[in-house]
Chain A
Amino acid sequence: MTSMMHDHITALLQKEMREDGRKPLEYRKPIKVEYDISPKSAEGSARVTMGDTIVVAGVKLEVGTPFPDSQDEGNLMVNVELTPLSNPDYELGPPSVVAIEYARVVDRALREGHALDTKKLCIKEGEKVWTVIVDLYPINDAGNLFDAFSLAALAALKNANFPTFDKKTEKIDYKKKTKTPLPLDKSPLEVTVIKINGTLMVDPTIEEWKSVDARLTVGVLENGVICAMQKGGPKALTMEDISKMVDIAVEHTAKLRKLL
């Protein structure tokens, strides 16, 4: 079945066509970002729709102790759970390696792109810092979770405000949100370019994703500088492929960033 679909997809690509009628370098529609989907519970939240794919992101803040090697910096944590609600192939249980890769790749762009000024997340050096946790969930997984998660994570961070922290009692009052947004310095965003049978394309459907020869997720900053990458898929890439894929990612991250 998968191989029949693979043949179908590659045959279409030879005519520069895709199963849903798109061009190789075209995103699905509608593509949108909605904010405040969980304003009572989360410090920040967002929902991203890319065609039939829907994901949600929520930001929670906690106060903890800093890591020994960064005494005056707060922390960032990204977590992905591949909900069986969103895809018949997902199962309950501890995070699979697939979920872990999604979380780590999204994390890498935010961390290495210095999305958050972590020094501004310090409450008292060596003792108390904020930990920012981004939780990502697919609602309907119709492909391209990497890009949807990256966009949703950045949107939820943008949407988040600090809760009130009482320095005397050292307790957070989650019910009293401040008007202070998170120290979001930069907007690193990721786009995944896939290669099937020699053709480069973006925003794969589930079936296209199953047929991928190679994929490259590229994290890009506002100024076009790369801040993170992850290569995946069973086959290798040439220098020329990588050069083209980076150009595609730079172009599309700029477009996606405008949705925020």
Chain B
Amino acid sequence: MELIVATSLGGLTAAGIYLVLRLRAFPVILGLTLLSYAVNVFVFATGRLTVGLPPVLNDDASAYTDPLPQALVLTAIVISFGMTAVLVLISLGAFLEAGDDRVNIKDETTGESDA
């Protein structure tokens, strides 16, 4: 299971970084979403990978899984979701103002790209 989690994390992160570096608003948003998926699973896994164990106190339980990363990842999911919404709106605004979804800005005085 460690291998599956680790490779999928690596795949998500690699795809996310590639998309962020495309420097177009839509791929960048997708890339950041993939990165936040990867990071959420990563935070989830920091409490060690276990199967079928309860996170809360229970009279029948022999062992537990760490509940804290689950609480952390819940917060992280909410925050990254909200941030993605803000990002979508700002990039829409930038697209409508500039008529272009490039993330790097052209310097108007010289015409060179300085991002």
A binds B: no
**Interface residues of A, Cβ cutoff 8 Å to B:** none
**Interface residues of B, Cβ cutoff 8 Å to A:** none
